């Protein structure tokens, strides 16, 4: 680590924080400045991501650049924004006061973005203003006197075009100048004395911005016409929702169609790995653990990576394009009916891939009650882990016929399961907001940014981030769960002369059989009860577990095929439908509960989530079973 002049007497690297309002192009600038060299970690105690990267200035300083969550003001409204405030003020534990702050603003929206800069200037710390998206501003005929602005503000001002590398050279140069001239320790009294601005203080900031703009704006930007025109269609009260539905439809089509091939590759690869390991290990308990427990379990989870990445590709593209806030706008009315915020739309959409990233995405929701409600209903969105079970049961029990002139019955049932989850989530949110999470409605105050072409590098880095998070989860929590499950379903072994499959005699079997009387009223037999024990950890494991219970052997596809036939023979239609209903609601995912525990910072809410979902699942399965029986489905 090369220390610059400034850090000669410092133990740590020079640290510069990147601050800016949302939609100022801050993250793109961060990506351009740091290239691929970024690290994502979590702040201790809270779950806000700490994104940092290294860069080298022309003079040779090594700088740690910190990408702080976007914020309109230092007055924090969400956990994300609180981090920005605390870091800038030097109040964040385990994070020193940054040596300098770079405030990123959208040059086309200075009137709104300069206020944050004035708040930062008040702190008296080394500060640089980056007028970002200067190319767009110029294209719209905007002329700003940079010199006057710099003189008026008393800080360096640079113009940047975040998407292009050459646009950031000036910024790096200014960082060098600042680092060379700034004494290492600056009085922090202004930061210590900071308090939330009063409404009148905000008004005063606004007036100062107006005064500055009068001085520095030579030619104003022509109003953005394209965004207005697009919005006329996209936000149209009737056409808008139709467009949203079409986009969602396309998205899910893509998730299922595009993912099929890579999923086959992963399947093939994991099967080959299983074979290789099998061939090279002696028969032993360890082999059983590695092959049947770990590899089989992990392949059952990794298989969803393509679907998750495709869904996130769409979400990131739409977000970068500026559409996601429009979707939130269109959904807000419906969601506010049940006490949610339009902003909950994105986390809930992510939850269709996997509830874990969905729950993590709730960090952007400002109000704690809104956020908690969203976290609690996220598991009701049909995540991809439910699909193997849905597909198995539908194939086994729903005839492949068409109804109402051409609609496939199997597809219709699948759609019904998705719809049940969504309706269930809305009802649950409404009930939660009227009971446990009662509180005042929170305002929706959301900027609808100008549309722009998505930045490929941004999207790619975002996708990589998601993949890393998912794989890390597999490497930690899922791996340990798999070992425990393997243990539960392997020990104790079957006694001599056993007539049932070995799992029947194991701990999992004992637990499952113990649960059977409880599950009998909803039509579940002991085989299902046993399969639900490992299925509680991760939904999709239940398919493999059913295979084990029914003592099937062969590769996974063969099992799925024979299993469908076996089940169709062994279960009644009512039982199958009850199990489907159970799967819509049941909280069978330890990773989700762990995420909820991390995000809410207590055990209280994950426990509550588990309890209410299991009750819902039981009631739903009970009703389904009884109705199906009454209608002759026995």
Partner 1 sequence: MNAYTEQACQALEVGRLVKAGLTQPLGQMPRGSIGRILAVSGMGDRNIERGLLEMGFIEGACIEVLHYGLLGRDPLAVRINQSMTVALRQVEANAVLVGPLLDQTGTGPGASQERGT
Residues in touch with partner 1 (CB under 8 A):
72-73, 75, 77, 108-109, 111-112, 115, 196-199, 202-203, 206-207, 210, 213-214, 217, 220-221, 223, 227-228, 231, 235-238, 241, 325, 328-330, 332-333, 336, 342, 441, 443-449
Can the peptide bond before residue 492 be classed as cis, meaning omega within 30 degrees of 0?
Answer: yes
DSSP state letters, 305-359: HHHHHHHHHHHHHHHHHTHHHHHHHHHHHHHHHTT--GGGHHHHHHTTT-HHHHH
- Closest approach, Cβ 318 to partner 1, in A, equals 16
CA 11 to chain centre: 35
What is the CB neighbour count within 10 angstroms for residue 559?
Answer: 20
DSSP state letters, 78-93: SHHHHHHHHHHHT-ST
Looking at residue 492, the DSSP 8-state letter turns out to be S
Q: Do the beta carbons of residue 441 and residue 339 sit within 8 Å? A: yes
Q: Do the beta carbons of residue 505 and residue 548 sit within 8 Å? A: no
**Which of 366, 503, 496 has the alpha carbon at shortest distance from 441?**
366
Q: Do the beta carbons of residue 148 and residue 102 sit within 8 Å? A: no
- Closest approach, Cβ 197 to partner 1, in A, equals 8
34 vs 325, which CB is nearer to partner 1?
325
Which value, in Å, is the radius of gyration of the alpha carbons in the chain?
28
Q: Using CA atoms in the order 625, 629, 633, 634, what is the torsion angle rounded to 10 degrees?
A: 100
Q: Is 73 left (phi over 0), alpha (psi -120 to 50) or beta?
A: beta
Looking at residue 537, the DSSP 8-state letter turns out to be T
What backbone phi and psi angles, to 5 degrees, belong to 53? -155, 165
- Closest approach, Cβ 199 to partner 1, in A, equals 5
Q: Using CA atoms in the order 426, 529, 524, 573, what is the torsion angle rounded to 10 degrees?
A: 80
For 551, the 3-state DSSP assignment is coil
Parallel, antiparallel or unpaired: strands 407-408 and 38-42: unpaired
- Closest approach, Cβ 500 to partner 1, in A, equals 57
Strand order in the sheet with 127-132: 38-42, 49-56, 62-67, 14-19, 100-106, 127-132, 157-159
220 vs 275, which CB is nearer to partner 1?
220
For 6, the 3-state DSSP assignment is helix
23 vs 52, which CB is nearer to partner 1?
23
CA 291 to chain centre: 31
Q: Do the beta carbons of residue 497 and residue 332 sit within 8 Å? A: no
For 175, the 3-state DSSP assignment is helix
End-to-end CA distance of the chain: give it in Å, rounded: 72
111 vs 430, which CB is nearer to partner 1?
111
Q: Do the beta carbons of residue 586 and residue 617 sit within 8 Å? A: yes
598 vs 328: CA distance, rounded Å = 25
**What beta strand segments (E) does 195-294 contain?**
217-219
- Closest approach, Cβ 429 to partner 1, in A, equals 17
Please list, residue by residue across 271-296, b when 16 or more beta carbons sit within 10 angstroms of its beta carbon and e when fewer do.
Answer: beebeeeeeeeeeeeeeebbbbbbbb
306 vs 449, which CB is nearer to partner 1?
449
What is the CB neighbour count within 10 angstroms for residue 471?
Answer: 13
**Which of 104, 130, 103, 128 has the alpha carbon at shortest distance from 178?**
128
330 vs 482, which CB is nearer to partner 1?
330
**Which of 379, 396, 449, 405 has the alpha carbon at shortest distance from 616?**
379
205 vs 612, which CB is nearer to partner 1?
205
276 vs 334, which CB is nearer to partner 1?
334
Q: Do the beta carbons of residue 424 and residue 585 sit within 8 Å? A: yes
> Taken in order 200, 201, 206, 210, is the CA torsion positive or negative?
positive
């Amino acid at each position: 680590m090369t220390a610059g002049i400034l850090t000669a007497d410092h133990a740590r690297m020079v640290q510069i924080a990147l601050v800016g309002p949302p939609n100022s192009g801050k993250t793109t600038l961060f990506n351009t400045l740091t290239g691929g060299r970024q690290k994502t970690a979590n702040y201790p105690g809270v779950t806000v991501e700490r994104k940092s990267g290294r860069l080298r200035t022309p003079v040779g300083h090594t700088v740690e650049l910190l990408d702080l969550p976007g914020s309109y003001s230092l007055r924090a409204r969400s956990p994300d924004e609180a981090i920005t405030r605390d870091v800038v003020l030097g109040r964040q534990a385990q994070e020193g006061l940054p040596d300098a702050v770079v405030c990123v603003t959208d040059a086309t929206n200075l009137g709104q973005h300069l206020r944050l800069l004035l708040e930062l200037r008040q702190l008296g710390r080394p500060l640089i203003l980056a007028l970002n998206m200067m190319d767009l501003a110029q294209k719209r005929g905007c002329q700003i006197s940079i010199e006057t602005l710099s003189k008026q503000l008393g800080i360096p001002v640079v113009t940047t075009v975040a998407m292009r590398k050459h646009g950031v050279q000036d910024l790096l140069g200014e960082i060098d100048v600042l680092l060379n001239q700034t004494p290492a320790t600056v009085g922090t009294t202004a930061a210590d004395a900071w308090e939330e601005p009063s409404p009148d203080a905000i008004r005063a900031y606004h007036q100062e911005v107006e005064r500055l703009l009068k001085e520095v704006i030579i030619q104003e930007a022509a109003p953005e016409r394209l965004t207005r025109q697009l919005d006329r269609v996209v936000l149209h009260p009737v056409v808008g929702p139709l467009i949203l539905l079409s986009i969602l439809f396309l998205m899910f089509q893509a998730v299922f169609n595009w993912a099929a091939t890579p999923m086959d590759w992963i399947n093939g690869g994991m099967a080959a790995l299983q074979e290789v390991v099998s061939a090279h290990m002696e028969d032993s308990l360890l082999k059983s653990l590695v092959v049947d427990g770990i590899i089989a379990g992990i392949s059952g989870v990794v298989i969803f990576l393509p679907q998750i990445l495709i869904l996130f590709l769409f979400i990131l593209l739409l977000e970068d394009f500026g559409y996601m806030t429009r979707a939130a706008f269109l959904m807000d009315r419906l969601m506010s009916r049940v006490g949610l915020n339009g902003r909950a739309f994105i986390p809930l959409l992510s939850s269709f891939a996997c509830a874990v990233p969905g729950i993590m995405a709730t960090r952007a929701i400002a109000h704690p009650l809104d956020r908690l409600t969203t976290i609690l209903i996220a598991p009701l969105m049909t995540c991809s882990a439910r699909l193997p079970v849905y597909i198995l049961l539908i194939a086994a029990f729903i005839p492949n016929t068409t109804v109402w002139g051409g609609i496939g019955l199997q597809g219709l049932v699948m759609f019904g399961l998705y719809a049940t989850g969504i309706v269930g989530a809305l009802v649950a949110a409404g009930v939660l907001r009227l009971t446990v999470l009662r509180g005042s409605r929170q305002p929706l105050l959301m900027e609808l940014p100008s549309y722009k072409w998505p930045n490929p590098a941004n999207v790619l880095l975002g996708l990589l981030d998601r993949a890393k998070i998912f794989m890390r989860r597999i490497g930690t929590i899922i791996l340990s769960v798999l070992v425990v499950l393997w243990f539960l379903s392997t020990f104790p072994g079957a006694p001599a002369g056993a007539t049932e499959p070995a799992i029947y005699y194991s701990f999992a079997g004992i637990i499952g059989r113990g649960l059977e009387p409880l599950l009998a009223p909803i039509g579940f037999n002991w085989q299902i009860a046993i399969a639900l024990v490992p299925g509680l950890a991760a939904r999709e494991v239940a398919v493999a577990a059913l295979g084990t219970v029914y003592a099937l052997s062969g590769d996974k596809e063969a099992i799925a095929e024979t299993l469908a036939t076996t089940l169709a023979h062994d279960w009644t239609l009512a039982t199958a439908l009850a199990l489907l209903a159970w799967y819509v609601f049941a909280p069978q995912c330890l990773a989700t509960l762990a995420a909820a525990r991390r995000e809410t910072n207590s055990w209280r809410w994950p426990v509550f989530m588990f309890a209410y979902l299991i009750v819902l699942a039981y009631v739903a399965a009970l009703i389904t079973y009884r109705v199906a029986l009454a209608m002759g489905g026995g």
